[in-house]
Amino acid sequence: MVRVFFAGTPECAVPSLRRVACAHRVVGVLTNPPAAVGRSGKLVHSAVAREFFRLKASGVLPESASLFVPGRLDRAFYDAVEALRPDVLVCFAYGKIFGPRFLALFPRGAINVHPSLLPRWRGSTPVPAAILAGDCETGVTLQYIGEEMDAGDILAQSRVQLDGTETTGALLSRLSLVAADLVDDVLVGVERHTLAPAAQDHSQATFCGKLCREMGLADWSNPAVVLERKIRAFTPWPGLFTYKDGERIAILQARSCESSFVPLAPVGTVLAADKNGVFVQTGDGVLSLLQLQRSGKKPLFWRDFLNGSPLLLTGRLGV
């Protein structure tokens, strides 16, 4: 049985860690240090660290398995990992780039789990990128880690069909389960020496960058279909939001409509409200707002929102 060293940080990596721990031999786990959360600034372990503690307490992980939460990857860390005699690295969203010194510690290779169908959507935000682009399918790729990010040879892929209603959070949860199955299959291939790596077609590569909070500000000159995709792509973060009279309003759910439903007006204009929602003019088509949230308040469907704050959905939004 190969000796696996696992690296990951967020919740999406937990199913893969759990599967590897149950079916293979995990000698060590690497994750980011505890981070401050909430207004209190309390330090909280990563999702992967919390799962490590659960698996060890339940006896799934052996007592000898080690957890690493280094602030930086230095010589002492490399020496400690090397002492575990790992065969292979499995990495899913650890959050930092590994250098050649670390990758050389794994004689059977370093494997990355990437939630897209590489070479499409190389980069740090492949799930929101697929939603923003209106892709009909996405998936999970396992590939060798090389010098160029997400450009290594492909070991396995699993495809997932999209129906145009997915949010980033929901889709990433779905892909995390697909990834766990794929990781298990590939590690069996590592043990049996049956893997057949395939080079990526680099001419077909597309790329995605990091999200930032400012991306969530609704640009009403965008087409309605683009704004609807942004709502789903930016859920749970950074969300899509607008302003009215200086107050921030988060748009949690919406539906794009044909522009022929209502007369044209300046973008951002609240046109009407009926049983289908609150209609806002966009650069192409109309966006029907279905669920909204004021700062510091609970989410409300549009009827309840109008009952409590009728003046916030009049005139033009975003001005």
Count of positions (residues) in the chain: 319
Which helix (H) or strand (E) segment holds residue 77: the answer is helix 75-83
Residues that constitute the known binding site for (6S)-5,6,7,8-tetrahydrofolate: 116-119
Report the distance separating Cα 89 and Cα 105, nearest Å: 9
Which distant-in-sequence residues (6+ apart) come within 8 Å of 244 by Cβ? 312, 313, 315, 317, 318
Contact (CB, 8 A) for 188 and 24: no
Buried b (16+ CB within 10 A) or exposed e, 71-103: eebeeeeeeebeebebbbbbbbbbeeebeeebb
Q: How far apart are CA 237 and CA 235, in angstroms?
A: 5
Which residues define the annotated binding site?
Answer: 116-119
Which residues contact residue 115 at a Cβ distance below 8 angstroms, ignoring those fewer than 6 apart?
12, 126, 127, 138, 139, 140, 172, 175, 176, 179
- Kindly provide the b/e burial profile for residues 273-290, where b requires at least 16 CB atoms within 10 angstroms of the residue's own CB: beeebbbbbbeebbbbbb
What is the 3-class SS of 249-298, one letter each residue?
EEEEEEEEECHHHCCCCCCCEEEEEECCEEEEECCECEEEEEEEEECCCC
Task: Cite the DSSP H helix spans in 124-203.
Answer: 126-132, 168-192
